[in-house]
A and B are shown apart, each in its own frame.
Chain A
Amino acid sequence: MSGFRSGRILILGVFALLVLGGFAVGNPTILSADNVSSMAVFAVELGIIAFGQGLVIEGGDGAIDLSVGAISGLAQILTALFITHGLPWPVGIGIGILSGAAMGGCNAAAIARFRIPPIIATLGTMFAFTGLALIASEGNTIDLTAAPARFLAAGQGSVLGVPFQILCVYLPLLGVLVLVQHRSRFGRALYLAGTNATAAWLAGIHVKRLRAATYVLSGALSGLAGVIAAARLGTATPDGVPEANLISIAIVVLGGASIFGGDGSPVGTAIATIAIAVVNYGLNYNDFNPTLQAGMMGLILVLVVLVENLVRGHLPRLIAAARNRRKMA
């Protein structure tokens, strides 16, 4: 069904609280205002990328975007290069977002026009964008501490005591996406296409155009996330947002979307982002190595899909079979 499942959101909320509680027992300082705020800003970048991934996956037929991390890296590097070469910072930010959209456009063209399976297409562009980011940056990180303060404020500033990117980027974005996915014609058409592409096409919906648009949006959002990460850290790295592919897919699936499309909601994605961010930050705070953090993300992803499949598919069938057997006997 389109829309989010309130049950799933409740479970995620409880899960996040439990994890947070667990970490807090071990190390109460995690709940300090500073820490909660840095957990939140960390979550923003992944959350934005997950929004884009969510749109792509909802488009259906195994659509997936494996290039989100690479796009965030190249967009970040381009933004940093433009700013360090003296262009005004708004132009730099614009470059980051637009280049992301353009890279998404490459994915869209490869998939919709040349009919390359999404996995292969985005794997190919992932290679290419990462390579280009390394070439453009000559393999180094680019220092942005000397960038205009207003640019850095995009990742470090705060408004009314709340980090800038949450109040002025993430929450408005969430609002817009809720509007787009649940209230707009585009969102409805996307759900329809993700549920049954043939029926949607025969009902006058431009399925290919819709899917292409999701890749462009995903690219633009990844670019935006890359820019914010660069501003937050004061450096741009060709790697972009670390583990973005894995974590964005994990967030989307955890948020209640079906990996087969036609399902999902930005609200679910947002709550799943919080849950993932709590886990990630908690591990980080307790000095877990990034490799371990990524491993935990992988574990969460596999377990969630596994449990979901068992609950949705196997168990009802097993129960039905048992019932039949009883009836027969």
Chain B
Amino acid sequence: MNRLELRGIVKSFGGVRALKGVDAVIAAGRTLVLLGENGAGKSTLIKTLTGAVRPDEGEILIDGTPVVLRDPMHARALGITAVYQEPMIFPHLSVLENIFAGCEITDRFGRVQTEAMLRAVRPWLSSLDLAESLLHRPMADLGLGHQQLVLIAQALVQGARVIVFDEPTAILSRAETDRLVGIIHRLRDDGRAIVYITHRLEEVPRLGDHVTVLTDGRVTGDYAASEVTEDLLLRLMMGKRHDAGPEREAIRPSAAAGASSAPPVLSIRGLSHSRHFHDVDWDASGGRITGIYGLVGAGRSEVAMTVFGALRAASGRILLDGREIMPRSPAEAMALGIGYLPEDRKKQGIFAPMGLESNLTCTGLSRLSHGGWLLNFPAMLTETQAIMRRFAIKADTPGTAIGTLSGGNQQKGLFARWAGQTLRVLILDEPTRGIDLATKAEIHGFIRQLAQAGTAIVVITSDLAELMAVSQDVIVMRQGRVVDRFRGTAVTAERVLASAIGAATSSQEHAA
């Protein structure tokens, strides 16, 4: 029986169509894997399923009956719950209270009945591998993996019949992932319908009974999990714009040759942070693009932020052109010739209500002012217009608020902030996340140009296709450590992916 069915779901945000007619069927006692790249519309689809977003067109059926999900509460009342990647928690409340937040068991005076809540949750504890002693600890004491389990427990005690997992393993260790997979199988065998959203191919055969591929807001494939091969899925995920070819090939030899003997511009030696990364070594050479691959939470951004002076390392050395540096703020790092394009465009990047001019010139204010303090408006305007032309940023005027532009144009603007500076090192953290493929290719072109001009470029990415497309050297990180590195031609997508998810055990240097 079909527990949940989506028919022709369409959703647009401000003229951009995120979902262009999605159909999906989720049966009780089955796991549906929804596979898609970043920006394929997965997150919009989850929000639709959980009532956080209302579709413009199409219908949702539960047990064959059409329903309109008013809000997440309503969806939950109908038995649909989502477990998000980064759990929404109440850090200072106990685990038990987190499980029962919003649906506490009380007596008729409203007094919270701890014993009754313990009784209600106890049957689920063993199937979730949760110790009962954890229940009285503050939620903040738990690691992310356990916090996710707590949220699953929350879904179970509320009688969830459809559980949506949103890329749950991205931030988990290997052991935690294995445990989670086991739990998901148990939940499925228990008769619940599972929707598992991921962009990781290798999870499909482990988890799915069925796989639906989402590309650019459309379903491009729908198969039983046993029928598919990774090649097929990759092709479907890429859509028709790419063929699968470049992903599997080695890096262009022309780019890889020669320069590898030059001393690195940026060297990191034994860099450790109390929480985020341990004993990390990176090298980035001038004129080359070094790709840093790893899953979310591997500590890549944190290392970059340390180099950029936004985090402080506990130990280790950072060398720029052989000289030891330890910037204490981004301003200091910039003065040394280091640039960093942050990962989260909205939170860390743009000044949404302010004009393009303010956004594009914010890293060069000292250069663009008289005597270092009085802004030189004509120069700022000229520079803004030059940048807009050079990077083909589509906006009416230099004064147009950047928040009103498309994600791709915003991202080009953020990239352009650094392109005008004279830099020794530029670290780009997910430079093309959530933008369309044409702009992606454009930005990749700009990155190569910058590298040819001699800057050492570091590209941090979770997008394997991007890694393979731009990088000449590759460093793979997992759980705060460097697990593999490749120089020149020897890099293959399988190898990188295997290292990143911990399938390969070796950690040797692969030289050209």
Contact = CB atoms under 8 A, between A and B. Distances in A.
B310 A201 contact: yes
B499 interface: no
The interface size bin for chain B is 20 to 34
A59 interface: no
A263 B351 CA distance: 12
A203 B330 contact: yes
A188 to B, nearest CB: 6
Contacts of A206: 329, 331
Interface in A1-40: 1-2
Nearest to A208: B329
Contact of B373 (A185, A191, A195, A204): A185
B350 A185 contact: no
Given A185-B366, A202-B348, A262-B353, A191 B358 contact: yes
Contacts of B331: 204-206
Interface in A190-228: 191-192, 195-196, 198-206
B342 interface: yes
Interface in A235-267: 262-263
Contacts of A323: none
Interface in B343-359: 347-355, 358
B220 to A, nearest CB: 29
Nearest to A328: B56
Contacts of A202: 308, 310, 330, 340, 342, 348-349
Interface of B, helix, strand, loop or mixed by DSSP: mixed
Contact of B374 (A183, A189, A191, A262): A183
Given A184-B375, A185-B372, A200-B362, A192 B340 contact: no
Nearest to B354: A195
Contacts of B334: 204
Contacts of A179: 374
Q: Which among B333, B354, B372, B377 has the greatest number of chain A C-beta atoms within 10 A?
A: B354
A186 interface: yes
A319 to B, nearest CB: 16
Given A201-B330, A202-B330, A206-B329, A188 B351 contact: no
Contacts of A185: 365-366, 369, 372-375
B279 to A, nearest CB: 26
B95 to A, nearest CB: 28
A205 B362 CA distance: 9
Contacts of A195: 351-354
Contacts of A262: 351, 353-354
A203 B374 contact: no
Given A185-B366, A199-B348, A1 B330 contact: no
Contact of B350 (A2, A183, A199): A199
Contacts of B363: 203-204
Nearest to A186: B373
B93 to A, nearest CB: 22
Interface string B294-313: 00000000000000101000
A157 to B, nearest CB: 32
A1 B329 contact: no
B401 interface: yes
B348 A1 contact: no
A184 B362 contact: no
B288 interface: no
A202 B345 CA distance: 12
A329 to B, nearest CB: 14
B328 to A, nearest CB: 11
Nearest to B339: A204
B417 interface: yes
Contact of B351 (A183, A186, A196, A201): A196
Contact of B365 (A1, A188, A196, A263): A188
B17 to A, nearest CB: 16
Contacts of A183: 374-375, 377
A42 B347 CA distance: 43
Contacts of B365: 185, 188-189
Given A185-B365, A203-B363, A198 B347 contact: yes
A183 B331 CA distance: 21
Interface in A157-188: 179, 183-186, 188
Given A2-B358, A201-B310, A204-B363, A184 B374 contact: yes
B149 to A, nearest CB: 30
A2 B366 contact: no
A1 B355 contact: yes
B53 to A, nearest CB: 13
Nearest to B350: A199
Contacts of B310: 201-202
Contacts of B348: 198-199, 202
Contacts of B342: 199, 202
Nearest to A182: B375
Contacts of B401: 1
A192 B375 CA distance: 14
Interface in B257-315: 308, 310
A201 B348 CA distance: 9
Contact of B358 (A184, A186, A192, A198): A192
A183 to B, nearest CB: 6
Nearest to A203: B362
Contacts of A1: 353-355, 401
Contacts of B353: 1, 195, 262-263
Nearest to B361: A188
Contacts of A2: 354, 358
A175 B417 CA distance: 31
A262 B359 CA distance: 14
A199 B358 contact: no
Nearest to B334: A204
Nearest to A258: B353
Interface string B56-89: 0000000000000000000000000000000000
Contacts of B417: 203
A211 to B, nearest CB: 14
Contacts of A203: 330, 362-363, 417
Nearest to A187: B375
Nearest to A195: B351
A224 B375 CA distance: 28
A199 B351 contact: yes
Nearest to B310: A202
Interface string B364-387: 011001001111010000000000
A185 B372 CA distance: 8
Contact of A192 (B308, B354, B374): B354
A199 B359 CA distance: 10
A303 B334 CA distance: 45
Contacts of A263: 353
Contacts of B308: 202
Given A2-B354, A184-B374, A199-B342, 4 more contacts: A185-B369, A191-B354, A192-B354, A202-B308
27 contacts: A1-B353, A2-B358, A183-B375, A183-B377, A184-B369, A184-B373, A184-B374, A185-B366, A185-B369, A185-B372, A188-B358, A188-B375, A189-B365, A192-B354, A195-B354, A196-B347, A196-B352, A199-B342, A199-B349, A199-B350, A200-B351, A202-B308, A202-B310, A202-B330, A202-B340, A204-B329, A205-B362
List 6 tightest A-B contacts by C-beta distance, closest first: A204-B331, A204-B334, A195-B351, A203-B362, A204-B330, A185-B365
Interface of B: 308, 310, 329-331, 333-334, 340, 342, 347-355, 358, 362-363, 365-366, 369, 372-375, 377, 401, 417
